[in-house]
Amino acid sequence: MTPTVEGSTPPEEPTPRGHARLTVNTVTADDIAQSLKEGLSDFLARPVMSGFFGLFYAAFGILLVWSLVWLEKIWMIIPAIVGFPLVAPFAAAGLYEMSRRLQRQEPFGWPEILTVMADQRKRELGWMAFVTLFILWVWFYQVRLWLAIILQDASFSDFDGFLNAVFFTPEGWTFLAIGTLVGALLSAVLFTVTVVSMPMLLDREADVVTAMLTSIRVVAENPVVMLVWAAIISAVMLVSLVPAFLGLIFTLPILGHTTWHLYRRALPRAEE
């Protein structure tokens, strides 16, 4: 088994890595509660830096919606808003690094965090970004497919017309039901493969396959607790979107920091 190296800076000549099978710890509801407390503590320890990542994410969401309006892609606004949280795990990479350094009591500033994020292009985290964006693409594609099949005669010339077609017609209700089921499935898949793999790839020298398989094992061996955590993330993220995405300035950092601490409870330390 290839030894792991903890830290975010890749070695100059990394050793070959196999698909090592890591030990998975039992995760309890108390672990979620304690991770939330620690995540909030990390946010309060560095509120400006943490809030920056939330602000950047919120600004991207606002720009995305504005762009769809400008391009007259009205039908894509709701799918974009609903699918937008799918990329949150990748957006939180800087937050994971902040929590890692805070946990190790290492000093850091903007250069250290931004440099670590830039260095991820040399590592496996970029492949996880590809997985995330691929699932987001599947989400948009299936929305367009079902719109064409179910709401083919509806008018989407303006946002009000789209809302009326989706929420106040039998065909729209059918579209919402199918879209909700497909969206829930895609979200479950993405959550399962990223909940541990994202912070793991930043923290350890591991390949993307090992990271995803480990994440799947964590969810499979702790299904109820991880389902609760997924529900918390979904509810908080969707509520945060209501005030023009601005709630994400606070909730994304807290959830990102919390995810790091939950990862540390789900897997033994790299040096163990």
How far is Cα 174 from Cα 159, in angstroms, rounded to an integer? 19
Q: pTM (2 decimals)? A: 0.84
pLDDT at 79: 83
* DSSP result, 133-170: HHHHHHHHHHHHHHHHHHSTT---SSHHHHHHHHHSSH
Amino acid at 220: A
Q: What is the mean pLDDT of residues 250-266?
A: 95
pLDDT of residue 80: 86
Q: What is the DSSP letter of 10?
A: P
DSSP string, 220-261: HHSHHHHHHHHHHHHHHHHHHHTTTTTTHHHHHHHHHHHHHH
208 closest CA partner among 40, 58, 33, 20: 20
Let me know: does 255 contact 33? Beta carbons within 8 Å: no
Output the pLDDT for position 156. 67
Contact 205, 4 (CB under 8 A): yes
> What's the CA gap between 256 and 199, in Å, rounded?
9
Please write the tens of the pLDDT for every residue from 166-203.
888 888 899 889 988 998 899 999 999 999 998 998 88
Q: What is the DSSP letter of 261?
A: H
Give percent of the chain above pLDDT 90.
44
For 106-162, write each residue's pLDDT tens digit.
Answer: 999 998 888 877 776 666 777 887 888 888 889 888 888 888 888 876 666 677 777
Nearest to 207 by CA among 26, 14, 24, 27: 14
Q: What's residue 4's pLDDT?
A: 43
The residue assigned the tokens 């979200």 is 187
In terms of phi and psi (left: phi > 0; alpha: psi -120 to 50; beta: otherwise), the region of 7 is: left
Distance between CA atoms of residues 237 and 234, nearest Å: 5
| pLDDT value, residue 122 | 63
Task: Check if the beta carbon of residue 94 is closer than 8 Å to that of residue 113.
Answer: yes
- In which residue are the tokens 């005669």 written? 153
Mean of pLDDT over the chain = 84
pLDDT of 33 strictly over 50: yes
